[in-house]
Structure 1
Amino acid sequence: MIVRKGMGRAKSLLALLMVLLFSFATYNLIAMIMEHKADGLELSNRKLMRSNSKFHVAVTATDAAYNQWQCRIMYYWYKKVKDMPGSEMGKFTRILHSGRADQLMDEIPTFVVDPLPDGLDKGYIVLNRPWAFVQWLEKADIQEEYILMAEPDHIFVNPLPNLAYESQPAAYPFFYIKPAQNEKIIRKFYPEEKGPVTNIDPIGNSPVIIKKSLMEEIAPTWVNVSLIMKDDPDTDKAFGWVLEMYAYAVASALHGVKHNLRKDFMLQPPWDLNVEDRFIIHYTYGCDYNLKGVLTYGKIGEWRFDKRSYLMGPPPKNLPLPPPGVPESVVRLVKMVNEATANIPEWESINRS
């Protein structure tokens, strides 16, 4: 009898346990279905909000040899990664603000715009960039809903997705753009009634992925702020070569635009040591090393790669690779330059100033 009672209790407990387990499993299944539906609805809503997530790659440039060879390398790597999995890159345009065609028109898709009137840039040629974008946005037939503002010394090292979302563009945060530390100057262009200086992102205009309609609003303000900043001696002295970057950051804030700051957007050798999952190599800094692989920044190294060594014409093919111990980012940069120069037709017979 005791055994039977124990068996009966065990059966009852087992039945109860099975009911509970069944109920729990059913609950989890329903929860999973509901979550899946919610995810699907969110994805559907995103697709409705972003009917075309591709972005147009736009780079401003002059017809100088220094800009030309960089654009050729950039366009080579754009074509290599454009159709790779994960890429949402659309068409490519070199916005040529020299006011006339050059010898790369058949090689690189190009839209010619006018430079600023003589003397207006005061020798600071970068001021032509916002003016070039204004003209291009007004006159060109741009099919994509988004735009990537890029520069000639950018190399696409990984397929680039659209990092922007609706009215929030994506941008790379620069450590040397410090609006809060320059509040006295910033307030000349961003009055207190607009809000705190922290509304201004620590960015430049490139790299930025932004909705075309939003860029059409910001670009004229960017032109005006750039010119006014350049005309102000204190601002010109304080901001120097990054003045136009500050101008874009301020112009965006004046329109109430905040950017999604993406450190993975770009890397800058020699300071960033590894490529990893970042998307663009920006080779603005010189890379100088001794033969032991030690950085000698500020002093010409026994091995070096510096774009400014090639102001008058393109670098030669098959540049020597860095010595052992040099960071992967620098090695990757030189290998990518070498691959491009080996495959671009008539590399050394064109674009010499």
Structure 2
Amino acid sequence: MYYWYKKKKDLPGSDMGKFTRILHSGDPDNLMDEIPTVVVDPLPERLDRGYVVLNRPWAFVQWLDKVKIEEEYILMAEPDHIFLKPLPNLVHEGYPAAFPFFYIKPSEHVKIIRKFFPEEKGPVTSIDPIGNSPVIIKKDLLEKIAPTWMNVSLKMKHDPETDNTFGWVLEMYAYAVASALHGVQHILYREFMLQPPWDLETGNKFILHYTYGCDYNMKGVLTYGKVGEWRFDKRSYLDGPPPRNLSLPPPGVPESVVTLVKMVNEATANIPNWDTAEKMKTNSS
């Protein structure tokens, strides 16, 4: 992510400002000298109930409180985001910009949503189908939303019905609800991001999100849910970074997946000491 941020930041059409990695482990790590980083505290022990993403809103609350942020607007993004082209400020007339997720459906969970978004706050349809990332938002708006986002996340996680229903996207629902509680609605930009292998072409998109595994047979046919003869899945590299020069997918695989692997390969080829990181992985295994 950081490699492609640096390549796109100063190109024509970019409104990209400074970069900050928010590290919510409470301790510095081995990337501190490479990526601008702010270390914040994790939630108190066991408060996240094994759901590490619950630390995210708390991390933003701390960051906004402890750091003097020069920019007026903030992009919230994730480590598995790759910038395909320079990113302009998509905020319009004060409305934040967000990507609509097909699986965030507040209107299908009215009973649960009303536990956190009472009727006097308005219709459930005023809650956007989004998470906090990617989002571009004015700093002063995020300063208002972030504490509410944290509190709603914790309340949702500690409500068994909500926790069981929303699962791993609970924190996304919490951001959407928190925004609506403050009367904030987002402009929904489908061009903001694509997600291989379901999105086949990079097209006009700004960000490539490699959250899903990409599994194919050697005929270029998707075998999702089954390990493919060719695969790229970030979960294969939980113990260390991917090697340089990953094999390209076979003919017939969508352009979005080919682009993903090519961009990963370019980054790993140019990031200093990547070989050392790979050796460290090998020696520790």
Distance apart, 1:247 and its partner CA: 0.2
Residues 166 and 211 of structure 1 are in contact (CA less than 8 Å); yes or no, is this contact kept in structure 2? no
2:71 matches 1:136: no
1:126 corresponds in structure 2 to 53
Residue correspondences, number: 280
User: CA offset at residue 275 of structure 1?
Assistant: 0.6
Cα shift readout 1:228-272 (whole Å, capped 9, x = no counterpart): 000000000000000000000000000000000000000000000
Q: Which secondary structure does the structure 1 equivalent of 2:18 belong to?
A: strand
Residue 125 of structure 2 corresponds to residue 198 of structure 1: yes
Deviations 1:192-215 (A, max 9, x none): 111110000000000000000000
1:95 aligns with 22
Instruction: Report matched runs for 1:17-36 at 5 Å.
Output: none
Partner residue, 1:258:
185
Distance in 1, Cα, partners of 2:41 & 2:104 = 29
Runs of 4+ more than 6 Å apart: none
Is 1:344 the counterpart of 2:256 in the alignment? no
Counterparts of 1:307 and 1:192, CA distance in 2: 41
Aligned pairs for 1:199-238 within 5 A: 199-238=126-165
Corresponding residue number in structure 2 for 1:293: 220
2:79 pairs with 1:147 = no
Q: Give the secondary-structure state (helix, strand or coil) at the position aligned to 1:220.
A: helix
Instruction: State the TM-score, normalized to the length of structure 1.
Output: 0.78
Find the counterpart in structure 2 of residue 112 from structure 1: 39
AA aligned to 2:121 is K
Q: How does 1:237-256 map to 2 (within 5 A)?
A: 237-256=164-183
Aligned partners of 1:248, 1:209: CA distance in 2, in Å? Answer: 13
C-alpha displacement at 1:220, in angstroms?
0.1
Would you say the 8 A contact 1:170–1:261 is kept in 2?
yes
> Separation in 1 of the partners of 2:93 and 2:46?
38
Equivalent residue of 2:47, what SS? Answer: coil
SS of 1:91's equivalent? coil
Q: Choose between structure 1 and 2: higher helix proportion.
A: 1
Give how far 1:166 is off: 4.3
Q: Which amino acid aligns with 1:222?
A: W
Higher Rg of the two aligned structures: 1
CA distance in 2, matches of 1:324, 1:291: 8
CA contact (8 A) 1:288 1:295 kept: yes
- Residue by residue over 1:308-350, the C-alpha shift from the partner in whole angstroms, topping out at 9 and shown as x without a partner, is 0011000010000000010000000000000000011111423
TM-score (ref. length: structure 2): 0.97
* Conserved? CA contact 1:167–1:257, under 8 Å: no
Classify the secondary structure of the residue corresponding to 1:339: helix
